[in-house]
Amino acid sequence: MASLLPLDSPSILTLICLHGRRFGAGCDLRPSYTATVSTEGEIRGPVRVGVVGLGYWGPNLARNFDRLPDAELRWLCDASEEARARAGAQLPGVRQTGELDELLADPDLDAVVVATHVPSHPELSTRVLEAGKHCFVEKPLAQSSAEAEQVADAARDAGRVLMVGHLLEYHPGVQKLKEIAESGELGDIHYIYSNRLNLGKLRADENALWSLGAHDVSVVLRLAGEEPIEARAVGESYMREGVEDVVFCYLRFASGLSAHLHLSWLDPHKERRFTVVGSKRMATFDDMEIERKVTVYDKGFDQSFQSYGEYIARSGDIWSPRVSNEEPLRIECAHFVECVRTGQEPRSGPESGVRVVRVLESLQRSLEESSRAARV
């Protein structure tokens, strides 16, 4: 694995705050792209939504918006007639089109969900915003920070809500883990690590970092409350040349916190787990658990009073706080509708989307610059 590169090394991408300062404990994390949402034509009835992209994930979004009491699913849009027919069979009565322009021309449409392939996210999201519609775009916002910032600028200029589908930020288990960490119950947070593993789904248009990493990076940034100052990654391509199937990522923060991410679609185990290790206690979020989504461990080391500088291992109680079983996707969709109605900044708004892309971009650059490995 490549040795850690110093901050002033020309071979590492040093992450820079959008406010012009390096990421770290002193960085202002308040949204830089908060849009002043126009209240002209205030929405008093249900928010009328169109979904663009009816492949793997789009139908799930359409289903949830259709079931929300404060939303009306108005359009289904996909270039594939087969995809439209398949989704339409589950959602009878919803308008269908293969042309985005037809959808955007609807004066009664309030918001558009973009659930297409990642490379098309920036262009389609920008078109939606410039047409005066609010926009929910699936993760990641873009494949480069420059494109992500352009979409964020478009939302600001249009005065419309832009929300990125960082689904795990709306998971009740992740919210509970965040509450526990912020309460001080775990003490000072030393490090965070996550495993996002499974056998498949193999992709040709993006590697495991971009396909899986947006979820974990968004959660790590939310838990850390700061931005990393260094990032590195190493990965291997086994199934398709040039497309990494397994990636190991490392992030270091100015506060001393570190994070490790293991991402793979070539693994015998299906894991969706975060572990937070603190100076007092430790906690996990395991999305594969049915009942114990979050577990707190009273484990650690206490200083010995009998021998200076020595520590005694402590293994105390283990408990699992109650976590709501509400579907995270429903919570996410309802949050978007609320933001459209009220003009409030989404939890995973433009700034969040840009931050995640910037970190993924730096990790991708580290993947490509593997020449600094130390010989053993």
pLDDT in tens, 315-352: 778 999 999 999 999 999 999 999 999 999 999 999 99
- Report pLDDT for 311: 66
* CA neighbor of 132 nearest in space, from 150, 113, 107: 107
Instruction: Give ranges for CATH 3.40.50.720 in the chain.
Output: 47-165
16 within 8 A of 28, measured Cβ to Cβ: no
Residue with the bigger pLDDT between 35 and 299: it is 299
Angle between helices 81-90 and 58-67 (to 10 degrees): 30
User: How far is C-alpha 210 from the geometric centre of its chain's CA atoms?
Assistant: 11
2 versus 334: which is more confidently predicted? 334
CA atoms within 13 A on the CB side of 172: 13
pLDDT of the residue at 136: 99
Q: Which of 249, 252, 253 is nearest to 262 (CA)?
A: 249
Provide the mean pLDDT of the chain.
88
Q: Burial of 305 by CB count in 10 Å (0-12 exposed, 13-18 middle, 19+ buried)?
A: exposed
Q: What are phi and psi of 172, to 5 degrees?
A: -55, -30
Give the predicted TM-score (pTM) of the model.
Answer: 0.86
Question: CATH 3.30.360.10: which residues of the chain?
Answer: 169-325
Measured distance CA(327)–CA(68) in Å, rounded: 12
CATH label, 169-325, candidates 3.30.360.10, 2.60.40.10, 2.40.50.460, 3.40.1260.10: 3.30.360.10
Does pLDDT of 202 surpass 90?
no
Tally of CB atoms within 10 A around 206: 17
Q: Cβ neighbours of residue 296 under 8 Å, at least 6 residues apart? A: 180, 185, 186, 281, 282, 283, 318, 319, 320, 321
Tell me what percent of the chain is helix, strand and coil, each rounded to the nearest 5: 30, 30, 40
> What residues pair up with 260 in beta bridges, in sequence order?
193, 250
17 — pLDDT class (breaks 50, 70, 90): very low
**pLDDT value for 216:** 98
pLDDT in tens, 256-315: 999 999 999 999 999 999 999 999 999 999 999 999 999 999 987 776 555 555 666 777
Span 87-142, pLDDT tens digits: 999 999 999 999 999 999 999 999 999 999 999 999 999 999 999 999 999 999 99
Residue 255 in this model has a pLDDT that exceeds 70: yes
* Token digits of residue 220: 């790590």
Can you give the C-alpha Rg of the chain in angstroms? 22
Domain 47-165: give its CATH superfamily.
Answer: NAD(P)-binding Rossmann-like Domain (3.40.50.720)
Question: What contacts 167, CB < 8 A, 6 or more positions away?
Answer: 139, 215, 328, 329, 332
CA–CA dist 332, 119 (Å, integer): 23
